[in-house]
Each structure stands twice: as C-alpha cells, then as structure tokens.
Structure 1
C-alpha cells in the first residue's frame, strides 16, 4: 500500500490504518512484533516522527504495547460483551 501525500488524511493516520488492518486480518497476530520504525520507514518513505505518531495511535487504541528493548507488540483484545 502507498501513502497518499496529497489527500486530506495525514500520513500517520494512513499508516495507523494500514497497521490496524494487518492486525485485524491476522497478518500481524497477537503476540507478534509490528515492523520496526526502520522497516516502516523503508516501506513507506516517511519520517520517523510520522511513524511514531502512527504507533502512538495504535497504543492509544490499546492494540499494541512497547516491550522495552524488544519492539512494539500486538496485544490481545478483550472479547466483545453482548
């Protein structure tokens, strides 16, 4: 997937959406590391600050957590009640 730099959605939100999709479809399963900032930088050609913002969005949503010295990992989501 490519980033639309001319569109109304900021690049960090586009990258967060791509990673969110990879998590939800199982491409990046629970307990696995998301690509590093270096890997994402090479894949999307954006600044690391942009990538940090994208990862922060996912952290704020409770999808990932940082494991010190290891990277950012997908965490289990609580089951929907109802």
Structure 2
C-alpha cells in the first residue's frame, strides 16, 4: 500500500503499524521534510506523534535503514542519507 507524508497510522489497516509508519516516513523523506545528513525526530517523538510504541518506531526506522534512506549514528540519532538522483532510462 502507498502512504502519503501526511497520513496517520490506522489500527484497522491491512498493513502492520510498523509498515505504515515506514511508508509515511519514506514519503516524508521523499517530500523533503528533512534535509540529507540531518537528524529525524527521535524514537520517543515519533512514538508520541503517531501513537505507537518505541519498538514499533524502531522497526520502521530499521526498514528505512535497510532501504538506504536513513543511517544511524550511535549516541547521536538517525540521519537522512544522501539521495541518489534517479538513473536516466537506458537506451536500447
């Protein structure tokens, strides 16, 4: 399912809450809510904002880290990775 940057997590949706939050945060990154190499809000802030537990937020952030959208700096937080421009279409 596709999520927008202004969506909220729905408890009765078919996707798990961590998947919904990952989709919402992904959309916020793509929209440019946070600049590359700048920290995103902490786990507690995101948990409060979306009404989720910290482990759920942590799992969502792990999904984004696996995709290369964010990276963690121990003791400092989670930061937005530099986004690579879309590759131009190949000509055959």
| TM-score, scaled to structure 2 | 0.82
Partner of 1:47: 53
Structure 1, unaligned stretches of length 5 or more?
A: none
The correspondence of residues 1-82 of structure 1 with structure 2, limited to 5 A, is 1-82=7-88
- Cα offset, 1:48, TM superposition: 1.1
Structure with the bigger RCO (C-alpha within 8 Å, sep 6+) is 1
Equivalenced residue count is 82
| TM-score, scaled to structure 1 | 0.92
Structure 2, unaligned stretches of length 5 or more?
A: 1-6
From the CA coordinates, give the structure whose radius of gyration is larger. 2
| Deviation per residue, 1:13-38 (Å, 9 max, x gap) | 11111111111011111111111000
Q: Which runs of 4+ in 1 moved over 6 A?
A: none
